[in-house]
Structure 1
Amino acid sequence: MLTGLELPQVGHQRSAASQELLQRKNNYVANGISVSAPIIIDEAKGAVMRDIDGNTYIDLYGGIGVINAGHCPETVVKSIQQQAEKLLHSCFMVTMYQPYIDLAEKLARITPGDHAKKAMFVNSGAEAVENAIKIAKAYTNRPAVIAFDGGFHGRTLLTMTLTSKVKPYKFGCGPFAPEVYKAPAAYCYRCPYKASYPDCGLHCLEHFERFFVAEVAAEDVAAMIIEPIQGEGGFIVPPKEFLQGLKKICEEHGIVFIADEVQSGFTRTGKMFAIEHFDVVPDLMTMAKGIAAGMPLSAVVGKAEIMDAATPGRIGGTFGGNPVSCAAALATIDLMEQENFCGKAEHAGTKLKKALIELQKKYPIIGDVRGLGSMTAIELIKDPQTKEPNKKAAADLIHYCFENGILIMGAGIFGNVIRFLPPVVISDEQLDKAIEVLENGFATLCK
Structure 2
Amino acid sequence: MSKNQALLARRQAAIPAGAASAYSIFVNRALGSEVWDEDGKHYVDFAAGIAVMNVGHQHPKVTEAVSRQLSRYAHVAYPVQAYEPYIEVCERLNKAAPIEDATSVLFSTGAEATENAVKIARIATGRPGIVAFTGSFHGRTNLALSLTGKVAPLRTNYAHFQPGIFHVPFPVPAHGMSEEDSLKALDYLFKSSISPDQVAAIIIEPIQGEGGYYQAPPAFVRRLREICDQNGILLIADEIQSGFARTGRFFAIEHCGVEPDLIPVGKAIGGGLPLAGVVGRRAVMDKAQPGSLGGTYAGNPLSCAAALAVFDLIEEEGLLERSHTVGGKLKAALERIAARNDLVPMGAIRGVGAMIAFEIFKERGGNVPDPDATKAVANRAREEGLLVLPCGYWGNTIRIAPALTIDDKTLEEGVARLTRALQHDTGSN
Q: Normalising by structure 2, report the TM-score.
A: 0.96
Aligned equivalent of 2:43: 57
Task: Give CA-to-partner distance per residue, 1:30-64, whole Å, 9 cap, x none.
Answer: 21111122111111110001112111110000000
Matching residue of 2:390 = 410
* Secondary structure in structure 2 of the residue aligned to 1:324: helix
- CA offset digits 1:212-231 (Å, max 9, x no partner): 11121000000110000000
1:343 alignment partner, one of 298, 312, 321: 321
**What does residue 104 of structure 1 align with?**
90
Q: CA shift at 1:367, angstroms?
A: 3.3
Find the residue that maps to 2:90 and give its secondary structure: helix
Query: Is the 8 Å Cα contact of residues 188 and 238 (structure 1) preserved in structure 2?
Result: no
Q: Please state how far the C-alpha of 1:19 moved relative to its aligned partner.
A: 2.4
Paired residue secondary structure (1:216): coil
Q: In 2, Cα distance between the equivalents of 1:82 and 1:110?
A: 25
CA distance in 1, matches of 2:68, 2:422: 47
Verify: 1:162 aligned to 2:147, yes or no: yes
SS at structure 2 position matched to 1:202: helix
1:37 matched residue in structure 2:
23
Structure 2 SS opposite 1:119: strand
Correspondences of 1:103-252 after superposition (within 5 Å): 103-113=89-99, 115-192=100-177, 202-252=180-230
The count of residues paired between Structure 1 and Structure 2 equals: 425
Aligned residue for 1:9?
A: none
- Opposite residue 112 of structure 1, the aligned amino acid is P
CA separation in 2, counterparts of 1:306 and 1:223? Answer: 12
Structure 2 unaligned blocks of 5 or more: none
Per the alignment, residue 4 of structure 1 pairs with none
Q: Which deviations, in whole Å up to 9, do the C-alpha atoms of 1:282-320 show, x marking residues without a partner?
A: 110001000011100001001011011111122211110
Partner residue, 2:71: 85
Matched AA of 1:257: L
Deviates most, 122-131 or 310-319: 310-319
C-alpha deviation, 1:191, in angstroms: 2.3
Q: How does 1:377-396 map to 2 (within 5 A)?
A: 377-383=357-363, 387-396=367-376
Alpha-carbon shift at residue 384 of structure 1 (Å): 5.6
The aligned residue for residue 405 of structure 2 is: 425
Amino acid at match of 2:310: T
Aligned to 2:278: 300
Normalising by structure 1, report the TM-score.
Answer: 0.92
Q: Deviations over 1:129-176 (max 9, x none)?
A: 010000001100000100001100001111110111111100111051
**Which residue pairs with 2:312 in the alignment?**
334
Find the residue that maps to 1:362 and give its secondary structure: coil
How far, CA to CA, are the matches of 1:211 and 1:172 in structure 2? 26
Task: Say whether residues 1:261 and 2:239 are aligned partners.
Answer: yes
Name the aligned partner's letter for residue 425 of structure 1: T
CA offsets, 1:101-140, max 9 Å, x none? Answer: 0111110001113x21110011110000010000001100
Q: 1:109 to 1:48 in 2, by over 3 A?
A: same
Aligned alpha-carbon RMSD (Å): 1.5
How far apart in 2 are the matches of 1:191 and 1:69? 37
Maintained 8 Å contact 2:89/2:304: yes
Matched, 1:28 2:14: yes
Mapped partners of 1:75, 1:433: distance in 2: 26
- Please give the residue correspondences for 1:269-280 in structure 2 after superposition, counting only pairs within 5 Å: 269-280=247-258
Q: Percent identity?
A: 38
